[in-house]
């Protein structure tokens, strides 16, 4: 393991602008894979739409192309900062562990030997969150699924995705806690559905509060498709994530995507409006004020030209797999997001 880590960072060492000191660099990302289903019928979930005989005519050929497309994107995220590629990646809208096993075997990323952490969620559509990590860069110590229990208007349980918690060691030194999320959708309207997302935010905040009690300056990454923007109540009032890094105190969370959203940038679009649902939020232990180990350098929406529609009504929007029910061999209806972490080479 240690030899692999060494070879990674020989490639990843770079100089920060205006600074002659050299730094080790890692990148951490999140990607909504937009309905990555296999072609086999699972009678325990509602996957009929993505079967060969289903409305989408989801064939083995389309599935293989989808895997190839997703792997192509993953292979390119963060290469400008770290030639070794993403060290860790949270994903959502996956049917099961099998699709992740198939994904990491794709030629464009297979040499990274991504390992998988996954739990089946009780979501009614059968979609889950998952976690991929390069075992040369990250060693998991513990992981679990945290249930998100919310209620419908009639008092019945609304079955949705669990929150995936992973604890591990980055670069054989930094203990990192990670929460991978896919919060409840806005189905039925933003206001009606908001309490479910607020509950998810409260759970994430409670995990952080518990870490603050048990550890000094814990390093936490909250990533996911939150189905809310950085200015939404769930993020501001319940998660209590700050917009500006220089205002972050020792017990705060920092959302580096807040100001990007304020500039009009987004990771998904609907009815000529951009949203930034795909966010990566960090604890104060990962900000520049941290006195040891990795800290945050920058965030980015990976919205490269090949991921965007080139023309037509949806020009500039994410080039997705389907346009309604018409297969167009695209990628996803969301752009990936990622952050760059650095630390001095001599640490």
Q: How far, in Å, CA of 337 to CA of 223, rounded?
A: 9
**pLDDT of residue 103 exceeding 80:** yes
pLDDT in the model for residue 188: 85
Tokens of 181: 């999320």
**pLDDT of residue 291 exceeding 80:** no
Report whether 241 contacts 253 (CB < 8 A): yes
pLDDT in the model for residue 272: 87
Q: How far, in Å, CA of 48 to CA of 205, rounded?
A: 36
**pLDDT of residue 287 exceeding 60:** yes
Total domains in the chain come to 1
Confidence of residue 108 (pLDDT cuts 50, 70, 90): very high
114 Cβ partners below 8 Å, 6+ apart? 89, 104, 132, 133, 134
pLDDT in the model for residue 338: 98
Q: What is the mean pLDDT of residues 59-81?
A: 97
Over the stretch 133-153, which tens digit does the pLDDT of each residue have? 999 999 999 999 999 998 887
Q: Find where tokens 């609304």 sit.
A: 158
Confidence of residue 5 (pLDDT cuts 50, 70, 90): very low
CATH of residue 253:
3.60.10.10
Report whether 165 contacts 179 (CB < 8 A): yes
More confident residue, 154 or 116: 116
Q: How far, in Å, CA of 337 to CA of 226, rounded?
A: 13
pLDDT in the model for residue 3: 41
Q: What is the mean pLDDT of residues 46-69?
A: 96
Q: How far, in Å, CA of 260 to CA of 280, rounded?
A: 12
pTM attached to this predicted model: 0.94
Over the stretch 314-329, which tens digit does the pLDDT of each residue have? 999 999 999 888 999 9
pLDDT in the model for residue 18: 58
pLDDT in the model for residue 26: 95
Domain that holds residue 48: 2-344
Q: What is the mean pLDDT of residues 286-301?
A: 87
Residue 198: which of 164, 239, 168 has the closest Cα?
Answer: 239
3 Cβ partners below 8 Å, 6+ apart? none
**pLDDT of residue 16 exceeding 60:** no
**Number of Cβ atoms within 10 Å of the Cβ of 15:** 11
pLDDT in the model for residue 289: 65
pLDDT in the model for residue 156: 87
pLDDT in the model for residue 142: 98
Q: What is the mean pLDDT of residues 107-123?
A: 97
- Whole-number average pLDDT of the chain: 92
């Amino acid at each position: 393991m240690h030899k692999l880590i060494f070879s990674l960072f020989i490639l990843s060492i770079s100089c920060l602008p205006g600074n002659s000191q050299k730094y080790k660099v890692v990148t951490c990302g999140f990607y909504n894979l937009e309905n990555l289903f296999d072609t086999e019928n699972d009678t325990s979930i509602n996957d009929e739409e993505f079967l060969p005989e289903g409305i989408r005519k989801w064939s083995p050929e389309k599935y293989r192309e989808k895997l190839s497309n997703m792997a192509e994107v993953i292979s390119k995220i963060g290469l400008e900062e770290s030639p070794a590629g993403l060290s860790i990646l949270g994903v959502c809208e996956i049917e099961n562990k099998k699709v992740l096993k198939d994904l990491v075997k794709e030629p464009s990323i297979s040499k990274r030997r991504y390992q998988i952490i996954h739990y089946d969620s009780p979501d009614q559509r059968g979609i889950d969150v998952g976690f991929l990590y390069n075992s040369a860069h990250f060693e998991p110590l513990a992981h679990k699924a945290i249930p998100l229990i919310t209620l419908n208007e009639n008092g019945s349980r609304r079955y949705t995705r669990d929150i995936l918690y992973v604890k591990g060691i980055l670069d054989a030194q930094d203990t990192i806690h990670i929460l991978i999320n896919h919060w409840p959708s806005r189905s039925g309207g933003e206001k009606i559905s908001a309490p479910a997302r607020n509950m998810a935010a409260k759970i994430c905040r409670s995990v952080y509060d518990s870490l603050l009690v048990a550890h000094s300056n814990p390093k936490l990454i909250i990533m996911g498709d939150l189905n809310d923007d950085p200015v939404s109540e769930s993020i501001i009032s319940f998660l209590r994530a700050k917009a500006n890094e220089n205002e972050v105190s020792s017990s705060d969370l920092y959302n580096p995507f807040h100001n990007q959203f304020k500039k009009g940038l987004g990771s998904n679009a609907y009815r000529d409006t951009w949203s930034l649902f795909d966010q990566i939020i960090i604890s104060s232990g990962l900000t520049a004020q941290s006195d040891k180990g990795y800290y945050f350098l920058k965030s980015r929406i990976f919205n490269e030209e090949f991921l965007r529609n080139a023309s037509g009504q949806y020009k500039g929007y994410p080039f997705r797999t389907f346009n309604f029910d018409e297969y167009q061999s695209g990628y996803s209806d969301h752009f990936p997001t990622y952050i760059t972490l650095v630390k001095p080479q001599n640490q």
